Homo-oligomer: A and B are copies of this chain.
Amino acid sequence: MKDDKSDTGWRRKLHEVIYGTHTPAGKLFDILLLVLILYSIIVVMLESVPRFDTKYHEFLNISEWVVTILFSIEYILRVICINKPRKYIFSFFGIVDLLSTIPKYLSYFLVGSQYLTAFRALRLLRVFRILKLVRFVGESNNLVRALKASRTKIFVFVFFVLVISVLLGTLMYLIEGPEHGFNSIPHSVYWTIVTLTTVGYGDISPETALGQFLATLIMIIGYGIIAVPTGIVSAEYASAQNKAKDLDEGRSCPNCSAEIYRSDADFCRKCGYDITDEA
C-alpha cells in the first residue's frame, strides 16, 4: 500500500511536469521540449543540405542521436506516468511522438528512413497546448467550428474540381498533344490543376491558339471557382460567430417585450424594468 502510494507520488509529480502546463516546472518542461523539437527539425534540414552535411557531418549526426535518445526517454516517461497508457499510445500525439524517435534507429537498417524524422514537425503542434493557457483555444474554436461545418461542402467542391480537371485535361491533351509537352492525359490533368488553382508553373504551357483559348477559359473558371471555398468558410465562420453571440439572445423584457441585446443587461433598455428579478 505504502509502496503504491509513494509510487503514485512521484508519478503524479512527473505527470504534472510532463502533461501539466500550470506549474512553473511544467511550463519549463514544455518550453524546453519545443526548443528541442525546433532544434531537431533544423538539424534534419541541415543534414539534407550537401554543403552543411559535408562540413559538419559528425556534429549533425551526434546531435541527431542526442535528440533521438532524449525523445525516447520522454516517450517512455510519458507512457509510465500516465494512468491509461493505452489511450496515450494510440492518441494522435502518442503516435507522432513514437514516429519521431523510430527513424534514427531504423537508419541502421534502411537508407533514407532518417528523413522521416522531419515528421517531428507535427510535434510542434504541441505549441497550442501551452499557449492554450493564454487565449488561443477560445480564439480558434469558432474557426474550428466553421471548418467542421464547411467540411462536407468543401469535399463536394474538391470532387467537382477534380471531375472538371479530368475533362478539361483530356481536352487539352487532344488539342495540344505530346508535341507541346502535354505527354499524356494524367500529365495534362496535372497541368489543368496547376492552371485552375492559379499556381501556373509554366513548365508546360499551351502553344496552339485553340489551346491558349481553352487555357484562358480554364483560368477564368478557376478565378470564379476560388470564390466557392472562400465564400463557404466566410459564411460558416460568420455564422459560428453569430451563434456564439446569440446564445443569450432571444431574451426579451417581461414587462414591455422589447428584445434584450446584451447578455450583461440588468434593466430593459426600453422601459427600465429590472430584468434580474426574472432570471
Give chain A's interface residues, CB within 8 Å of chain B.
41, 44-45, 48-50, 112, 115-116, 118-119, 121-122, 124-125, 127-128, 135-136, 139-140, 143, 146-147, 150, 152-154, 156-159, 161, 163, 166-167, 170, 173-174, 178, 183-187, 189-190, 193-195, 197-203, 205, 209, 212-213, 215-216, 219-220, 222-224, 226-239, 241, 246, 257, 260-262, 264-272, 274
Contacts and interface: CB of A to CB of B under 8 A. Distances in A.
B241 A237 contact: no
Contacts of A174: 112, 115
Contact of A186 (B127, B154, B209): B209
A222 B195 CA distance: 13
Nearest to A195: B199
Each complex incorporates copies of this chain amounting to: 4
The majority secondary structure among interface residues of chain A is: helix
Given A230-B227, A238-B238, A265-B270, A135 B161 contact: no
